[in-house]
Amino acid sequence: MSSVGKAKFFIGMAVGAVVGGGLTLTDRQTREEMKEWGKYLADLAKDPDQLKSTTMELVNRAKSTAEQVNEDVNFIREKVDSLKELTPEVKSLVSETKGTFLPDQGQDTSVTNESATR
């Protein structure tokens, strides 16, 4: 992409953002919320200590959330691995049970075919 093409792209993006932002401000509730948000940001800018503590709180929340997600993923991974190990055992148990209660259907057909050819 040429530099002229890039410039047009970013100009178009900026114009779109301005138009979109202007349209959303036609709603009274949105204007009020943006006004409150602006006051909050102005207050944060005036008090660097509050900005720092708010930022640290958000960072700590993000870290905590990431750790919790990591623990959840590891738990699910362990359960999936245990199910993978358990599946062959369950298949074997079902086959044995089927053989016990339904002797005609539970037997290996290769054994019955060999005995029939003798």
Tokens of 89: 């055992």
Q: What is the pLDDT of residues 36-81, one digit of tens each?
A: 999 988 888 888 888 889 889 999 999 999 999 999 999 999 999 8
Give the separation between CA 12 and CA 34, rounded to whole angstroms.
Answer: 24
Alpha helices of the chain — where are they, by DSSP H?
A: 3-24, 28-46, 48-101, 103-106, 109-117
Q: Over the chain, what is the mean pLDDT?
A: 83
pLDDT at 105 over 60: no
> Ramachandran region of residue 107, left (φ > 0), alpha (ψ -120 to 50) or beta?
beta
Structure letter (DSSP) for residue 27: S
The crossing angle, in degrees rounded to 10, of helices 28-46 and 48-101 is 120
Choose the most confident range, by mean pLDDT, from 5-19, 39-53, 90-104: 5-19
pLDDT at 86 over 90: no
Q: What is the pLDDT of residue 98?
A: 82
**CA 50: distance to chain centroid?**
32
Give the separation between CA 34 and CA 27, rounded to whole angstroms.
Answer: 11
Candidate from 3-12, 30-39, 85-94 with smallest mean pLDDT: 85-94
pLDDT at 111 over 50: no
